[in-house]
Structures are given as structure tokens and as C-alpha cells.
Amino acid sequence: MAIEIQGAGFVGISFEATWGTFVAPSIFFPVRNVDLLYTQDTSWRRPIRGLADNLGGIQGYSSVQGSIEMELMENILPYFLYTGRYGVVKSGAAIDFTYTATPTAWSTNASLPATKKGLSITVVKSGQVFGFEGCITTGIEFGVDGATPTVTFSIIGEDEASAALPTYVENVNSLVYGAGQWNIQIPTSSQVFDADGISVAIEEGAEAQHRLSDKRRPEFIKFGERTVTASVDRDFVNRTDYDAFKALTATSLRLLLTRSATRSVDIVLPRAVPETYEPSSLSSQGDLVRSSVQYQGVYDTATSASHSIIVKTHTDIA
């Protein structure tokens, strides 16, 4: 096998009906970074026996950890929502479907949908295949690079094994968003035009759980405390948001990306409490006065959720 550059690699995914049972990829998409790794907790032996050396290793527990970063695409996002801590409701017909993801309080990955117990994620490097099994979504971060929205999925999985080399199949509907397709609202229904940076992050505090049994890989994945945060970089024009920060006054926040009436990604924090507010320093005569606001997304009793994600797409997931 010849040495290859990273541009020759690719990624594909498929749902698993049985958690940890590998399924060959059926969906492929471009990525910006993949750092999924098989990890194992080796115990190194250093007993007292007349030596001061390492006497070897003992196999410990193993799991898959890492993330996938990509340009935000509405046709791919629902796959990761289904394998996350969400109740996902599909509506619509033909090629115009809507997936509404509402956060849940599930304790473990056992509560994932019956035919979507996890993702098999195939990563090809230098023509070699890494088949990551039992992967679930444990965090999502939406961000921006220039005018291009990005998304990073945090992943915990069960195991990894070699698999057959698939053929990358281009999905013509894997389109990215850009300038002119953004709508940031703070509060919701009130669009702002002075932001040039935003991130929304959902972290589920998940951990691989091992037990004394006949296998090294995890028995299950435990979800922990959910943390929802958002940050926005804006021009500083008045003290309104600064005073709201000082008073811990909650607002709402919406990030809406729209390609058409039937192709969009809509992220809403119905109750966002400002945690920090940092106006820029006075350090350069020619620089604009800016501000950076960090929010905590908290549980909203009116919507019974800390956030929601609504995806409109052609993707038809059974």
C-alpha cells in the first residue's frame, strides 16, 4: 500500500439495530476533522520483586472516544440527532421532511430508538479501514468559520475493528450554508445584525461504563448532567445587554440557517441567561468597540426544554 495524503481518506456511517454490531456505511459526507480513537486503559505492572523495572502490561477496559467536525449540512445532522439524547419526531412527506429534536432525560444509550441503537462509523486512512462500532452522540457544538457554519459531534463508542473497504458515494444533497443565509435572533423574533461570531454547544456529560464481566468494552454509555451554552461576538452599541448580564436577566436565542423554505437548521434556546459579558478593551485607535457574551441555556418551563433543534431536509430516515 502506497503512502497517501489525508485528502484521500473519507468517512461513512450507518445506523445499528444492535448496539455495537458493525454495519457497512450507507451514507458518506465530507469532513474537516475526525479524531476518533480506540483507547485502552492498560495497567502496567510494577510489583516489588527485587527489580525497579516495568514487568509488562495487563489488559484494561477499552472504548472509542473522539469527535467529527464538518461543515453543517441539514441532510446529515438528523443521523447524529437520532443517536443522541433526543426524542426525534419526523414529519412531512415526499422530499420535504422535518425532524424535531427535543432533549430528554435518558440515563443510558439503551433508550435510543430500536433501529438506531448507535452509529457504525467507517473511517478510511491510507486505504485502511477503521470500523468504529456502537457510536453515540454525546455532544454537539455549532460554530462558524468565516461565513460557513460548522458542527462538531462528540462521540463515545463501544469498539473498533477492521472492515471491508467501501466505495465513497457522493451525496449531491450535501450542500453547505454561507453568507446571506444566517438569521441570529436575540431574543427570538428579533434579528440582530451586529454579530460576526456565534457558537451553541450541548454537552451531555456522557461516560463509558465498564463492569467486571467477560468483555473489555463498555457495558453501556451513561448520560450525565446536560450543559447548554452559547456565545456571541457583537458590536457594542449600548448598555442594554450589559445591564441584563448584571441583573441575570434571561433572554432567548435563536440560530436559524435557511437555504429554502424546506431546507434549514433551526436551533433555539428558549431561556438563555447571560453568564459573562466582556466589552473590548480600549487598546487601538482604529479598532471597533466589541462585546462578547456567554450564555447558559437553562430549562424553560414553558417549552419543557433547555433547547430544541429543528431540521428541514430531503433526507428520509425510516
pLDDT at 36 over 80: yes
Q: Answer whether 0.85 is exceeded by the pTM.
A: yes
How many angstroms separate the CA atoms of 206 and 268, rounded? 22
Cell digits for 88?
A: 426525534
> Per this entry, what is the length of the chain?
318
Region 196-208 average pLDDT: 98
- CB burial of residue 154 (10 Å; 0-12, 13-18, 19+): buried
Cell digits for 215?
A: 468483555
Instruction: Kindly give the residue spans of alpha helices, DSSP state H, lying in 152-228.
Output: none
3 pLDDT band (50/70/90 cuts)? confident
How many angstroms separate the CA atoms of 237 and 252, rounded? 19
What string of DSSP letters covers 113-169? -TT-SEEEEEEEETTEEEEEEEEEEEEEEEEEETTEEEEEEEEEESEEE--PPP---
Instruction: Kindly give the residue spans of alpha helices, DSSP state H, lying in the chain.
Output: 77-82, 240-246
pLDDT at 1 over 60: no
Q: What is the DSSP letter of 111?
A: G
Q: Mention every residue, 6+ apart, whose C-beta is less than 8 A from residue 22.
A: 16, 120, 131, 133, 161, 163
How many other C-beta atoms can be found within 10 angstroms of the C-beta atom of residue 176? 16
How many angstroms separate the CA atoms of 134 and 137, rounded? 10
pLDDT tens-digit profile of 242-265? 999 999 999 999 999 999 999 999
Residue in the block written with cell 450542500 = 175
Asked if residue 187 has a cis previous peptide bond (ω within 30° of 0), the answer is yes
Region 31-37 average pLDDT: 98
pLDDT at 307 over 60: yes
Region 120-132 average pLDDT: 97
- CB burial of residue 121 (10 Å; 0-12, 13-18, 19+): buried
CB 314 within 8 A of CB 75: yes
226-253: burial string, b at 16+ Cβ within 10 Å, e else: bebbbbbbbebeeeebbebbeeeebbbb
CB 314 within 8 A of CB 173: yes
Q: Mention every residue, 6+ apart, whose C-beta is less than 8 A from residue 21.
A: 133
CB 103 within 8 A of CB 139: no
What CA–CA distances, in Å, run from 5 to 60, 120, 124, 167? 33, 24, 12, 18
pLDDT tens-digit profile of 38-69? 999 999 999 999 999 999 999 999 999 999 99
pLDDT tens-digit profile of 152-172? 999 999 999 999 999 999 999
Q: What is the pLDDT of residue 193?
A: 97
Alpha carbon 298 to chain centroid, angstroms: 19
